[in-house]
Homo-oligomer: A and B are copies of this chain.
């Protein structure tokens, strides 16, 4: 069996709403181990819905519809499905009663258009909707010489759809034997290495079949998803672990965490385990590094605070940066990053001090100091303060340069904590 998700609604074609239903159902199908190769979106149009159904039944044996179950004339899903299979609709008295009761409970009277929501193709079961007036259907249609067809319909309202899926569809599918073989994944996360360089380094694991390994690139990081199919989560983890370990051994420090672990949570854990604290001195990031460092609850254990030294006078007065050096080297320089890191470490009495100074753009760049040039200072306990220069790309947007600067700074601290 394989499933296909079919989302119905002209509002999806017009871009009025984001298709979060499809995303949710895709995750759920993956968790149950139900293969799923196609998703389709089509508008509120009988002929085109028929066309999509005829394509889907030739390649999938479970059709999951969302949308088009409302009371208005453009809600056509049930009608389109019934007419495609030449099956008459019949009104279910229990649905009518349920809709009436729901209206009554909020002091309203059911309108005649809501009666339409009680129509179900002959032979189909009702898929109850505890939260709204539009129930769905579960319909098994036997087919000659092949697997029977399963059809499920859900309203487009995400909360109703999710509740119906969990309450009725999942137990139904488990009863049919699905979700026995589950798919469990671990997401390994990397920084400081490109997707292509990572893929070349760990090429050998891409040929595995269980677990499989697939790469993803996103803002400032690359990820490898290691997915195993097994009878239980523990069995899946047993398949995943050795492969994940092999990858980590090959890649080294560019691996920073897995699944929900973020750069800030990893740095936080490292600081906490060593009973160390950090403070930040930010120029171009304007507070972004502090904001990331305090994402996680409990960050007050290792984060003391910081100075947002946007104005040069603040660098001098609060961070004890030398004003002659500011004149001579400019605020975006190795010397100033060095002094900012030392200054904030001293004033906040922290173990580590991180500074960021750079040109986030789009203006302010020069030939010698182009947009994207960033200096990061790291003052550490007992040893010499480190300054690193980065060129984050002069074509990049201000917001991206600022974000990458903050992550780069956090990553510098992470690598120091791990290798010290």
Provide the bound-state CA to CA distance between A111 and B195, in Å: 10
Task: Kindly state the interface size class of chain A when it binds its partner.
Answer: 35 or more
Binds B, one of A23-31, A144-152, A232-240: A23-31
CB contacts (< 8 Å) of A72 on chain B: these are 195-196, 199, 215
Binary interface encoding of chain A residues 290-306 relative to chain B, with 1 for a CB under 8 A from any of its CBs, else 0: 11011101111001111
Provide the bound-state CA to CA distance between A114 and B30, in Å: 30
- Name the residue in A10, A45, A282, A294 with the highest tally of chain B Cβ atoms < 10 Å from its Cβ: A294
CB contacts (< 8 Å) of A225 on chain B: these are 16
**Looking across the interface, which residue of chain B has its beta carbon closest to that of A7?**
B39
A48 at the interface (CB under 8 A from B): yes
Provide the bound-state CA to CA distance between A42 and B16, in Å: 22
Q: Is there an interface contact between A395 and B308, defined as CB atoms closer than 8 Å?
A: no
Q: Is there an interface contact between B310 and A105, defined as CB atoms closer than 8 Å?
A: no
With A16-B216, A225-B16, A287-B282: A113-B39 Cβ-Cβ less than 8 Å:
no
Q: Is there an interface contact between B105 and A298, defined as CB atoms closer than 8 Å?
A: no
CB contacts (< 8 Å) of A74 on chain B: these are 214-215
A166 at the interface (CB under 8 A from B): no
Binds B, one of A51-59, A86-94, A242-250, A380-388: A51-59
With A27-B15, A30-B14, A113-B196: A295-B399 Cβ-Cβ less than 8 Å:
yes
Q: Which of B17, B113, B393 contacts A106 (CB 8 A)?
A: B393
A204 at the interface (CB under 8 A from B): no
- Name the residue in A40, A159, A287 with the highest tally of chain B Cβ atoms < 10 Å from its Cβ: A287
**Looking across the interface, which residue of chain B has its beta carbon closest to that of A117?**
B196
Minimal beta-carbon separation of A361 from chain B (angstroms): 7
Q: Which of B16, B22, B48, B314 contacts A348 (CB 8 A)?
A: B314
Provide the bound-state CA to CA distance between A305 and B393, in Å: 25
Interface residues of A in 198-236 (CB under 8 A from B): 199-200, 206, 214-218, 225, 227
Q: Is there an interface contact between B37 and A26, defined as CB atoms closer than 8 Å?
A: no
Q: Is there an interface contact between A19 and B22, defined as CB atoms closer than 8 Å?
A: yes
A288 at the interface (CB under 8 A from B): yes
**Looking across the interface, which residue of chain B has its beta carbon closest to that of A399?**
B295
Minimal beta-carbon separation of A322 from chain B (angstroms): 18
Binary interface encoding of chain A residues 1-37 relative to chain B, with 1 for a CB under 8 A from any of its CBs, else 0: 0000000001111111111101111111110000011
Q: Is there an interface contact between A11 and B216, defined as CB atoms closer than 8 Å?
A: yes
CB contacts (< 8 Å) of A157 on chain B: these are 217-218
Q: Is there an interface contact between A39 and B14, defined as CB atoms closer than 8 Å?
A: no
A417 at the interface (CB under 8 A from B): no
Provide the bound-state CA to CA distance between A364 and B105, in Å: 19
Provide the bound-state CA to CA distance between A300 and B25, in Å: 43
CB contacts (< 8 Å) of A294 on chain B: these are 284-287, 310, 402
CB contacts (< 8 Å) of A37 on chain B: these are 13, 42-43, 45, 48
Assuming A38-B52, A71-B195, A318-B347, what are 14 further A-B pairs, CB within 8 angstroms? A10-B214, A11-B214, A39-B39, A105-B393, A107-B391, A288-B291, A290-B308, A291-B291, A294-B402, A304-B311, A304-B314, A305-B310, A307-B308, A308-B308
Interface residues of A (CB under 8 A from B): 10-20, 22-30, 36-43, 45, 48, 51-52, 55, 59, 70-74, 105-108, 111-114, 130-131, 157, 159, 194-197, 199-200, 206, 214-218, 225, 227, 280, 282, 284-291, 293-295, 297-300, 303-311, 313-314, 317-318, 347-349, 360-364, 391-400, 402
